[in-house]
Amino acid sequence: MYVVDVMEEDDNRKNWHEIYYKGRIVTPKWVRNISPYTIATREQFERAVEELKLKIWLTDGKNGAILNT
């Protein structure tokens, strides 16, 4: 699940980007570095999903596996 937490201020709007899988935050570090004054582009979102699909496929269900992003 992709969540954008929007923080409204008097003179601007900040968007915090998080991606969740099975209730855990799995957001790649580079996604967190996207400026909070923008929304992730479709290309950035698709890149993040592709990275996570591979990482989850390699680790999901393995005993003690942790998704380090």
Amino acid at 50: E
Q: In this structure, are residues 28 and 51 in contact, taking their beta carbons and an 8 Å threshold?
A: yes
pLDDT in tens, 36-64: 898 889 999 899 989 988 888 777 756 54
Average pLDDT score over the chain: 83
Query: Does residue 37 sit in helix, strand or coil?
Result: coil
Q: Which residues pair with 4 in a beta bridge?
A: 17
Give the global pTM.
0.66
- In the structure, what pLDDT confidence band is assigned to residue 30 with cuts at 50, 70 and 90? very high
